[in-house]
Structure 1
Amino acid sequence: MKFNSKFMALALLLAPLASAAPTENTLPATLPATLPAMLPATLPPTVLESPVDTISNQCTPGTYHCQCEPRVKKCWVDVCNHSGRWQLSARCRDRKDGNAVFTCRNEANGVAFCI
């Protein structure tokens, strides 16, 4: 009997939350006036193209490629998307200097990864 009464008390406590929940994933008709100030001036794209286009634009979808910019410390992994174009998949840790060992690796089977 104690279980039923505790369950009912919990259900009554949570009932207002369930009834106030939105039924659809829609934005409100009016947004708060402070919202535009909170957003960045330009939103980042959802798909980032590879930062340096040193390899061919055409590729086999689902393959990966390790890239490192020779003059800087940055390395990254690109993935070939469904359109056959390289796009950024992962940013690897920085190298100690521009001549240091790459921080990503290419494998013969089309897989690349950060190390």
Structure 2
Amino acid sequence: MTMTPAQLERFTARLQAERADALARMAGSDSAMSEVRAAKAGGVADDEHDPEGPTMTQEWSQRTAVLADVTAELHDIDRALARIAEGTYGVCTRCGKRITVARLDARPTAELCIDCARLVR
């Protein structure tokens, strides 16, 4: 069963909203990383012996990980939006079968049907 135009429109709107949210989180992450970078460069905090909180290295690592997660999320969203534009959204990229609407509701960036997703784990 192919996806209806209304379903495609719903998924497009959802993915675009998720993209806007991810871009906002990325902007916040960039700002937070700039703060940590400035604190490290200015020698404002003792990077190794601050008993009151995390070290600058910890802060940098955490914020870098958050930025990497958001970047990957944006990549997945953009690929899903591209599949919608190409007319291949909802088709498993591995086996070519339809991805169920229920799976796409749970994970709108899914590229694999549930059977193929189980195989790649």
With the length of structure 1 as denominator, give the TM-score of the two structures. 0.22
* Structure with greater proportional strand content: 1
| Greater radius of gyration (CA) | 1
* Structure with greater proportional helix content: 2
- Which of structures 1 and 2 has the larger relative contact order (alpha carbons within 8 angstroms, sep 6+)? 2
